[in-house]
Amino acid sequence: MAILMRAAYPDHPIPTRFVQGFLPGDVKNGTTTVRARDAHAWVEVYFPSYGWIPFDPTGKVGLRASLPVGAQHAQATPRPAPSFNPSDRDQEGPSGRPKGVGADLTPTNSGGGPSDRALLILFAVVVAAGVLGLAFIAWLRGPRGELSPDAAWKNLSRTASRFGFAPRPTQTVYEYAGTLGELVPVAERDIQTVATAKVETAYAGVRVAGARMDAVRDATRRLRISLLRLAFRRPKRRKR
């Protein structure tokens, strides 16, 4: 179903993601028991103003919610497309001034001797020291407030988004984690640690605590530094 919906409109594919989790399980005396055989997968489709809506081609998901009412948006007013008429071109050039009028733009000798190079090197050293100082402060501070797997995942994606590597609407948690792991191999293990905790909490209802939560907290602290490598990578432009 996910493949068909993504391929239905090649120019504008329907945002669809493949979700892995568990069925509701058995409820007895107020206790829900979820077994390994309850592992299941389904499809979620993104609707603007509604969010991700689950669909299950097998019909096994028992907890079905009605489609929520989304916010109403006014229809955008179409704007006229700009056109270019060669006959309207300024014959005096883009500046709109007659030739010979304006400041003299003849390049002059601005130096560039050893003293200028020394100042440039000094400036680069100061900037590098400032970046390292901020990175060290961020490492010592670590995550602010009470940390949860969901907050750790949002922190990770928000940091990557600042460098132009935001998750796409059609990407699942594991797909996005794999993409970031390929971009920053040194952080791949920490990214997978946070992603696994996020999936188990959001889709399986697992409560991450103790040593597992300490591992997520330590991974989040290291990712605040390792993801800075994304600043030196150029994001690929998406095809429209």
Q: Which of 113-122, 184-193, 220-229 has the lowest mean pLDDT?
A: 113-122
According to the model, what pLDDT value does residue 191 have? 94
> Do 219 and 123 share a structural domain?
yes
Distance between CA atoms of residues 206 and 25, nearest Å: 13
Q: What percent of the chain has pLDDT over 90?
A: 19
Average pLDDT over residues 130-158: 78
Distance between CA atoms of residues 35 and 25, nearest Å: 7
Considering the domain boundaries, does residue 82 fall inside one? no
Considering the domain boundaries, does residue 103 fall inside one? no
pTM of the full predicted structure? Answer: 0.43
Domain housing 145 = 115-232
Contact 19, 172 (CB under 8 A): yes
According to the model, what pLDDT value does residue 238 have? 52
> Do 223 and 133 share a structural domain?
yes
> Do 215 and 120 share a structural domain?
yes
Contact 124, 116 (CB under 8 A): no
According to the model, what pLDDT value does residue 24 have? 81
Task: Among 55, 73, 95, identify where a domain stops.
Answer: 55
Considering the domain boundaries, does residue 200 fall inside one? yes
According to the model, what pLDDT value does residue 60 have? 65
Phi, psi of 68 (to 5 degrees): -70, 160
Across 97-101, 110-114, 198-202, 230-234, the highest mean pLDDT is recorded for 198-202
Task: Among 55, 80, 97, identify where a domain stops.
Answer: 55
Considering the domain boundaries, does residue 219 fall inside one? yes
What b/e sequence results for 87-120 when a residue is b if at least 16 CB atoms lie within 10 Å of its CB, and e otherwise?
eeeeeeeeeeeeeeeeeeeeeeeeeeeeeeeeee
* Res. 6: pLDDT tops 50: yes
* Res. 183: pLDDT tops 70: yes
Q: Which residues contact 75 (CB under 8 A, 6 or more apart)?
A: none
Mean residue pLDDT of the chain comes to 77
Considering the domain boundaries, does residue 79 fall inside one? no
Considering the domain boundaries, does residue 220 fall inside one? yes
> Do 226 and 121 share a structural domain?
yes
> Do 145 and 218 share a structural domain?
yes
Partners of 46 in the beta sheet? 52
Q: What is the CA radius of gyration of the chain?
A: 27
> Do 137 and 45 share a structural domain?
no
Considering the domain boundaries, does residue 126 fall inside one? yes
According to the model, what pLDDT value does residue 83 have? 46
Distance between CA atoms of residues 28 and 42, nearest Å: 25
Contact 181, 112 (CB under 8 A): no
Q: Which of 22-36, 76-90, 215-229 has the lowest mean pLDDT?
A: 76-90
Considering the domain boundaries, does residue 33 fall inside one? yes
Question: What is the number of structural domains in the chain?
Answer: 2
Distance between CA atoms of residues 40 and 22, nearest Å: 5
Q: Residue 189 — very low, low, confident or very high, per pLDDT cuts 50/70/90?
A: very high
